[in-house]
């Protein structure tokens, strides 16, 4: 069973494992462990762990650099969450327009109108429709939006028009509709972001995951995507690929996919704060240069980060 170490001993443990602690900032470092926690520091130091006789240690990794990663992670989460919310509003607008134009104000509630019938039979269609409308009714009744309590915007079952209904979907619910929509609907939406249907579906799936990480205080800096988004030639040119041709699906691809999507709806979007945080993550350490630090978070090299605009 692990011992309940004092904060002073926790710092000493990190030092004994090869982490460099500035002796002039020992009290400050102990205070950091009281507020950030030992395991959060350990988590953000993980990419720099090396194996030595079966033990995980750090080779001259500065405590201050690990702490900087922690704080820049917070800044990145805030910056990327803002960009994802911009995309969410845009995608919902396009989804509502596509469904409303084809099927009117309430036609979206009949899943047989727009679902891909080559993939879903009658039972599956009705099942999805039942759970969707059930959740939508609850969300609508809880909403503070006055329009959702105006009878002229509701059908006989008290469900909202497509333009209001799509707007109150969660990001995950929005993705679920897009995943099972007919190809022509998906194509209309994807065309706004200059990508293929399959690229768009894989990218919004990644966005849903990243949004949850950003919103729930997750570790974005060290993210490693198990479900890999599709890459086109441009995206592939931005990410780190090792000598064995293994592509890096880490923070780099997350940033570049978001940038690709956002630039299609707002080419003048400001990336200054995100670029600043990424550059701070790539400050040279005693063991790694700036390009290698960029590789660790999934970028081809530091120049990709510098050119982010």
Pair 259, 271: CB distance under 8 Å: yes
Please give the angle made by the CA atoms of 80, 81 and 83, to the nearest 5 degrees: 65
Measured in residues, the chain has a length of 309
CA distance 147 to 154: 9
| Cα 174 to Cα 165, 212, 301, distances in angstroms | 10, 14, 34
Q: What is the pLDDT of residue 123?
A: 97
The mean pLDDT value of the chain amounts to 94
Pair 257, 298: CB distance under 8 Å: no
Q: Is the predicted pLDDT of residue 199 greater than 60, yes or no?
A: yes
| Cα 290 to Cα 26, 152, 201, distances in angstroms | 27, 59, 33
Tell me what the mean pLDDT of segment 135-144 comes to. 93
Q: Is the predicted pLDDT of residue 211 greater than 90, yes or no?
A: yes
By the 10 Å C-beta count (0-12 exposed, 13-18 middle, 19+ buried), 278 is classed as buried
Q: What is the pLDDT of residue 51?
A: 74
Pair 288, 296: CB distance under 8 Å: yes
- pLDDT tens digits, 212-271: 999 998 999 999 999 999 999 999 999 999 999 999 999 999 999 999 999 999 999 999
Q: What is the pLDDT of residue 5?
A: 84
CA distance 94 to 163: 10
């Amino acid at each position: 069973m692990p011992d309940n170490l004092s904060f002073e001993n926790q710092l000493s443990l990190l030092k004994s494992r090869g982490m460099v602690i500035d002796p002039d900032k020992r009290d400050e470092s102990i205070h950091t462990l009281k507020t950030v926690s030992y395991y959060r520091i350990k988590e953000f130091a993980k990419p720099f762990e090396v194996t030595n006789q079966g033990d995980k240690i750090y080779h001259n990794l500065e405590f201050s650099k690990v702490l900087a990663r922690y704080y820049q992670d917070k800044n990145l989460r805030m910056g990327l969450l803002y960009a994802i919310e911009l995309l969410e509003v845009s995608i919902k607008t396009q989804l509502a327009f596509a469904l409303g134009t084809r099927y009117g104000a309430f036609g979206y509630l009949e899943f047989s109108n727009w679902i891909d019938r080559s993939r879903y039979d009658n039972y599956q269609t009705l099942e999805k429709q039942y759970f969707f409308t059930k959740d939508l009714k609850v969300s609508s009744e809880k909403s503070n939006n006055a329009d959702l309590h105006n009878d002229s915007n509701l059908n006989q079952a008290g469900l909202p028009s497509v333009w209001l209904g799509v707007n109150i979907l969660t990001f995950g619910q929005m993705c679920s509709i897009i995943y099972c929509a007919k190809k022509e609907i998906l194509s209309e939406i994807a065309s706004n972001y200059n990508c293929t249907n399959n690229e768009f579906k894989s990218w919004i799936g990644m966005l849903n995951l990243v949004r949850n990480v950003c919103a729930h205080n997750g570790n974005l800096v060290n993210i490693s995507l198990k479900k890999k988004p599709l890459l086109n030639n441009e995206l592939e040119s931005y990410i780190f690929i090792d000598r064995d041709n293994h592509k890096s699906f880490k923070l780099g691809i997350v940033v570049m996919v978001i940038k690709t999507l956002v630039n299609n709806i707002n080419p003048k979007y400001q990336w200054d704060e995100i670029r600043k945080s990424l550059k701070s993550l790539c400050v040279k350490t005693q063991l790694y240069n700036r390009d290698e630090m960029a590789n660790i978070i999934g970028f081809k090299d530091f120049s990709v980060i510098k050119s982010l605009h």
